[in-house]
Amino acid sequence: MQNDGRRRARARAGLGIALLCVGGILSACASVGPAAWDHDLMARKSMQLNTHPDLMAALEHSYFSKEGASGGRSFVGGGCGCN
């Protein structure tokens, strides 16, 4: 029980640190990156984060069934930055 509580506390601390990191990264990112009209390469299909979602899903499932670790990816962001 005590162990459980400690683990939760650690998880909360981890989440807090992660949020701080995200905040830090965001402010560091504020001046990084190309102009809106220089997103031509980002607009390429080959530069998308998940070019073949069905394949990605099948591979992730296959790894999940054999390995102790799983997850970690996400597919938001990048792209042509339009609109």
Partner 1 sequence: MALVTVIAMVSVGGHVAHAAPSAALDLSQYHGKVVYLDFWASWCAPCKLSFPFLEKLQSYYAGRNFVLLAVNVDHDRTKADAFLREAGSNLPIVYDTTGGIARTFNVKAMPTSVVIGADGRVRYVHSGFFPDQMPLYEAHISELLNAK
Partner 2 sequence: MQLTPPRRGRIAQALGLLTANLLAATCAQAQALSPAADAPPDAAAPRVGVNDDTQSDVGLTRLNAAVLFYSESGGRVKATEPVVSVTVNGSSGAVLTGRFTVDTLTGATPNGAAPWTGPQTFTTPAHAPGTTATVTGSSGGSTLVTIPGTGTVARQYVTPANTLPVDAGFRDLRTAVDLGYATPVWDGGRLSFGGSASTERDYRSYSGNAGLSQDFNQHNTTASISAEFEYDRSNPFFGTPTPFTVMSADAKGPARTKTVTSAVLGVTQVVNRYWLAQLNYTVGESNGYQTDPYRVLSVVDSVTGAPSQYLYENRPGSRLRQSVYFGNKVAWGPTVTDASVRFYHDSWGVNSVTAELSERVPVVSWLYVEPLARYYSQTAANFFRDYLIAGQPLPAFASSDSRLGKFQAQTYGLKVGIPITGHSEFDIPSSEVYFQVQDYKQTGSAQPGGVVPGLAHENFFSGVQAVSVFAGWTMAFY
**Sites of contact with partner 1 (CB under 8 A):** 35-40, 43-44, 80-83
Kindly give, in sequence order, each residue whose CB lies less than 8 Å from that of residue 64, ignoring residues fewer than 6 positions away.
Answer: 70
φ, ψ at 35 (rounded to 5°):
-70, 160
Give the residue with the Cβ less far from partner 2, 2 or 29: 29
Give the residue with the Cβ less far from partner 1, 6 or 44: 44
Residue 78 interacts with, from partner 1, partner 2, none (CB under 5-8 Å by kind): partner 2
Type of residue found at 26: L
Q: Is 50 in the site for partner 2 (CB under 8 A)?
A: no
d(CA 39, CA 29): 16
d(CA 6, CA 14): 12
> Which spans of this chain sit near partner 2 (rule: CB under 8 A)?
4, 7, 11, 14-15, 18-19, 21-22, 25-26, 29-36, 38-49, 52-55, 57-59, 62-63, 66-74, 76-83
